[in-house]
Amino acid sequence: MKELNPPYSLKDLCLYFLRLGTLGFGGPVALVGYMHRDLVDSRKWISEEDYREGLALSQLAPGPLAAQLGIYIGYVHYGVWGATLTGLTFVLPSFLMVLVIGWAYVQYGGLPWMQAIFYGVGAAVIGIITISSYKLTTKSIGKDWLLWVIFIVLAISTFVFEEEMLWLILLGGVTVWFVKAPPSWFKISSNSFVPFLAQIQAVTFESKLWQIAWFFTKAGAFVFGSGLAIVPFLYGGVVKDYAWLNEQEFVDAVAVAMITPGPVVITVGFIGYLVAGFWGAVVAALATFVPCYLFTVLPAPYFKRYGKHPAIKAFVDGVTAAAIGAIAGAVAVLAKRTLVDVPTLLVAIVTAAILFRYKKLQEPYVIIVAAILGILLKTLL
């Protein structure tokens, strides 16, 4: 619901998300941490309660986590119009970047320098998201032992199985609900839950743009978890099923997503460009982000209206703890895959130590130094 006299204008919020989309490195884990640091702690534009509701909804709904949280934050004080503009300003900068990189990739037959940059940047990103995850955890969970148990269970399960389990996240919410605000009665309505299809039969279209639209709509509508969760789904369709890209091209696409700011899921724009040029990029991006926009905006009024109810608040607290645990587990998974040798391990540790010590240091400066370091290390090695 729109509130009177919010402490910022819609223009202020759009400018913030434009900057975050342009300079916000580190993927979904870091981006949700930046939003909390900047909008809740520093500027106090968004309340802790609204942030938690947004994070819980973003984790429960399919689609990219950071983009959905940004859309929800836009909705808090400025409704659908705010949600729409914040979503656009957040995603547009990184989309334009991947268009330029996609053009260069096609023109010059691949980007071998990208892997050298990613060697350093990837390791620094691990340090960045480790600090972001630490700050988010200590701020949101506090000293509540039950929330810590849920956090640990989700962190371990996400690390072991390398995926975020929606049923465990929901169970975390239900557990806190029953412990802190147990219902006087329990009734299951046939309309309580909306089942999502696990499998969708392939639909054949003659136009490649229609194929792109259909595939990426499924990616945006049926993949749960952070933006990183979409990568295995994309691999199965783009490389295995449709054979639009080969293995190396797909790895390069993921690398592009990691070395550019903004949502990691913007890699769909790069993939779309390689498959069908400019319009392929546009269709892939729209097909991915429109479902996540709808899955955020449509339930948002109910989260705002009923979020203060003790039972709903307890459920949101449990889901938030579970979501943050899943984020921490995802950090560990990424670290295992990215820190492949001693130099990358050292870069990650030094990055985390520097950001912990110098809290006002801007992450883009760290990314630039890491990119240069990556090129030097690759050259020497």
225 Cβ contact list (under 8 Å, min separation 6): 59, 65, 163, 164, 166, 326, 330
Task: Evaluate whether residue 63 is within a structural domain.
Answer: yes
Task: Evaluate whether residue 304 is within a structural domain.
Answer: yes
Q: DSSP assignment of 110-170, as one string? A: --HHHHHHHHHHHHHHHHHHHHHHHHHHHHHHTT-HHHHHHHHHHHHHHHHHSS--HHHHH
Q: How confident is the model at residue 61 (pLDDT cuts 50, 70, 90)?
A: confident
Task: Evaluate whether residue 78 is within a structural domain.
Answer: yes
Task: Evaluate whether residue 123 is within a structural domain.
Answer: yes
Q: How confident is the model at residue 231 (pLDDT cuts 50, 70, 90)?
A: low
- Confidence check: pLDDT of 55 > 70: yes
Task: Evaluate whether residue 276 is within a structural domain.
Answer: no
| Rounded (10°) CA dihedral 27, 96, 298, 57 | 0
- Confidence check: pLDDT of 4 > 70: no
DSSP letter assigned to residue 236: I
- Confidence check: pLDDT of 309 > 80: no
Q: What is the mean pLDDT of the chain?
A: 80
Q: How confident is the model at residue 204 (pLDDT cuts 50, 70, 90)?
A: very low
Distance (Å, whole) CA 209 – CA 211: 5
H, E, C per residue of 210-231: HHHHHHHHHHHHHCCCCHHHHH
Q: For residue 199, what are the CA distances in angstroms to 172, 214, 216, 332?
A: 26, 14, 14, 29
- Confidence check: pLDDT of 363 > 80: no
- Say what the pLDDT of residue 307 is: 63
More confident of the two residues 123 and 16: 16
Q: How confident is the model at residue 234 (pLDDT cuts 50, 70, 90)?
A: confident
- Say what the pLDDT of residue 193 is: 36
Range of the domain at 324: 10-182+293-380
Q: Which of 29, 62, 66, 70 is nearest to 338 (CA)?
A: 29
Which stretch of 25-39, 78-92, 114-128 has the lowest confidence by average pLDDT?
114-128
Q: What is the pLDDT of residues 236-294, one digit of tens each?
A: 788 878 889 887 787 677 767 767 777 767 888 999 999 999 999 999 999 988 988 88
- Say what the pLDDT of residue 349 is: 93
pTM of the entire predicted model: 0.67
More confident of the two residues 362 and 91: 91
Q: How confident is the model at residue 20 (pLDDT cuts 50, 70, 90)?
A: very high
Number of folded domains that form the chain: 1
Task: Evaluate whether residue 70 is within a structural domain.
Answer: yes
Residue whose entry in the numeric block shows the structure tokens 């975050």: 20
Q: For residue 318, what are the CA distances in angstroms to 187, 305, 324?
A: 20, 19, 10
Q: Which of 258, 238, 233 is nearest to 248 (CA)?
A: 238
Token readout for 323 is: 């979501």
Task: Evaluate whether residue 361 is within a structural domain.
Answer: yes
